[in-house]
Amino acid sequence: LHSVQLTQLEPATEYEYRVRSAAGKVQERSSRSLRFTTPPAAGSPAVRFGVVADLGQTTNSSATVAGLQQAAEDGSIDAILLGGDLSYADGDHRRWDSYARLFEGLWAGVPVAHVGGNHEVSSGGENWLAYSRRYPNGHAAAQSDSFLWYSLEAGPAHVMMLCSYAASGPGSPQHEWLTRDLASVDRRRTPWLIAVLHTPWYTSNRHHPMSEGARMREDLEPLLLAAGTDLVLNGRAHPRRARRAQNEEARRQIDFLY
């Protein structure tokens, strides 16, 4: 597996690239030129995110990806936020390969930020191994020591990508990092605070009850409320719902989409 870090890219700019072998030959599968456009600069007035989670490799997921790809080609979205559960490979690396091939047209042309879900860690002995190697992220740029949590900025949004399957209590690396990250946000530059995590903190889904996310909610919701977070995006519970959570003591509220 190979990855390349691209640096010094300009915001809102289209780039063309090709994939070459170590010998300098263009790979047969990518002999064509590929293109992507970087998201708007942090502090600019608008950004448009496509949001998806629990994708897998089904007829429904193919239709979802086709819709996202059409939106990208139409210029309707600037980047994608993926809230965990990518390939549903569950320990079968061939399924990771087929997932990448099936949706190559989208992933090759649109910036995507991921968080890991239960299928990246606990199913089929995954233990983050395939996920971390196949879908690395720029966590170091967000002063994070772990690929499991990081943040990014685009347009007026500061987006925190959090992990539902790692320690989150006071003193834990994730809690400490989130505290520092929130303190670094300039709301004049990025007035929108968005969090992405896999397991919902609020849900009416009987198959995935609120108890699944209760510990993380107890640990991190006070931080998000105190910072005035605007929106939390979740996966896990496949039927999509929206809910507004209010904290009367703090006089704060957050909108949750799961």
By three-state DSSP, how is residue 85 classified?
Answer: coil
208 catalytic? Reply is yes
Distances (CA, A) of 120 to 1, 114, 117, 127, 230: 17, 11, 5, 7, 27
By three-state DSSP, how is residue 56 classified?
Answer: coil
- In the set 139, 175, 208, 238, the catalytic residue is 208
- With vertex at residue 131, the alpha carbon angle to CA 171 and CA 82, rounded to the nearest 5 degrees, is 80
Name the helix (H) or strand (E) containing 148: none
Give the C-alpha separation, 105 to 133, whole Å.
Answer: 20
Q: Are strands 150-154 and 252-257 parallel, antiparallel or unpaired?
A: unpaired
Distances (CA, A) of 13 to 2, 10, 36, 150, 240: 24, 6, 8, 23, 33
Give the C-alpha separation, 130 to 113, whole Å.
Answer: 16
Closest CA to 239 of 194, 204, 199, 195: 204
* Start-to-end CA span in the chain (Å): 32
Greatest distance between any 2 Cα atoms in the chain: 63
Which residues are tagged catalytic?
A: 208
